[in-house]
Amino acid sequence: MRNFNIKAILFLNYFVFAILLNSVGTVILQVQQNFGISKSSASVLEGFKDLPIAICSFILASFLPKIGIKNSMLIALFLVSGMCFIMPFSNAFWFFKLLFAIVGVSFALIKISVFTSIGLVTNTDKEHSSFMGFLEGFFMIGVLAGNVLFSLFIDDHNPRSTHWLNVYWVLGALSALSFLFLFFSRLNEKEARSETTDLLGDIKNSISLFSYKKVLFFLVCAFLFVLVEQSFQTWTPTFYKEILRLPTSMSIQAGAVLAGAFALGRFLSGFFSKKFSWIYVVSFCVIGFAVSLLFVLPLTHNTEISTGTTWFNAPVVVYLFPLMGGLLAPIYPSINSVILASIPKYLHSAMSGLIVVFSAIGGTIGSIITGFVFQEFSGQRAFYLSLIPLSLLIISAVIMNKLKINPKK
């Protein structure tokens, strides 16, 4: 298979950061129990993760091809490896703020690099869309694996136990292994650079993206989607612990089930994108998820969970809630692939930077709003609010589908 080596490296790097990034929901639940942190205070961890992603992506998007795609990924893996090896010794909330800030900066480097690399290792729009779907699906496999991994270190009988911090030894080793695999791999980065412009020209090219209406509506779609997605991914463990009253380990495993549903949905999007127009896929998923939400959330009221509940005897709603993620999953890779395939390859780094920036902002706002509503009202009401951005998302996607991009270069 052409470019198999570097494609495997991209999958591995994405897998590592999937675990680190999406551990925020688990960490939010654990710091509440370990350090007595309130929900609203714990929710700022999403900001410590996402704001560095947004800021660094904005700054680095134009510069990254000149820094080097491979070099950027190596720097990211080195930073997170070091921080993971420090975390088992953490004994205060600020350690977690620092962890997610470093993970955020590093993920900005990784995601722009990975998105830029996709255009270098694929040849057609459909191949690009398919690979994007599979890559995002594998990202969710990483989220699933991360939730399962964290749950294995949880002590259900002692909520204040910090034994779970030992999971970072495993994550540090995984990051270091990924660093070594990448270090010995090769990537032809020539097409990602514009040979006719200097650094100032690259910045102008990046700014020029805002002149396209299709790009603007895409950014709205990306912002709204991640606002909804992060709300569910971040707060599902807490929802299961406090609303459904399941054991902590099961609550974290519910996040793994949600990630598994996301993974399946994104793998399927890799197939559907070859057969159907992206707008049909996105419309079906948005409407299907909204209908499922209206059906499932009422079932979570007054649910009685016994102390001996396991995955083998839990009420049906315990399974239904995370499975909704399968409908939400195909949206992100579909819209990302469409916009990246619409522009020249030398602009992919800049466009990837904008994707990361608006996704990060959406994730932060979504998590903070959900945490606030969850604390002041109820978990159900917090998730009902997602119907508003979902409505705006489908409107923006329809408009985006009607617009064309005619590159000036």
Report pLDDT for 1: 47
128 — alpha (psi -120 to 50), left (phi > 0) or beta? alpha
- Strand (E) or helix (H) holding 14: helix 4-21
CA 21 to chain centre: 7
Quick check: 179 pLDDT over 50?
Answer: yes
For 25-62, write each residue's pLDDT tens digit.
Answer: 888 888 888 888 887 788 788 788 878 887 887 777 66
Burial 17-38 (b: 16+ CB within 10 A, else e): bbbbbbbbbbbbbbbbbbeebe
In Å, what is the CA distance from 349 to each residue of 76, 184, 186, 258?
A: 16, 23, 19, 30
User: Structure tokens of 48?
Assistant: 């410590």
Helix (H) or strand (E) holding 357: helix 348-376
Between CA 131 and CA 372 the distance in angstroms is: 37
Average pLDDT over every residue of 237-257: 84
Q: Is the per-residue pLDDT at 303 higher than 60?
A: yes
Report the C-alpha gap between 201 and 63 in whole angstroms: 11
pLDDT at residue 172, rounded to an integer: 94
- pLDDT at site 282: 92
Pick from 276, 346, 250: which is nearest to 29 by CA? 250
**At residue 196, does pLDDT exceed 60?**
no
Tokens (6 digits) for 272: 């559907």
| pLDDT grade for 240, boundaries at 50, 70 and 90 | confident
Q: Check residue 221 and give its pLDDT.
A: 94
How sure is the predictor about 199, in pLDDT bands with cuts at 50, 70 and 90?
low
Per-residue pLDDT at 201 exceeds 70: no
Please tell me the pTM assigned to this model.
0.72
| Mean pLDDT for the stretch of residues 370-393 | 88
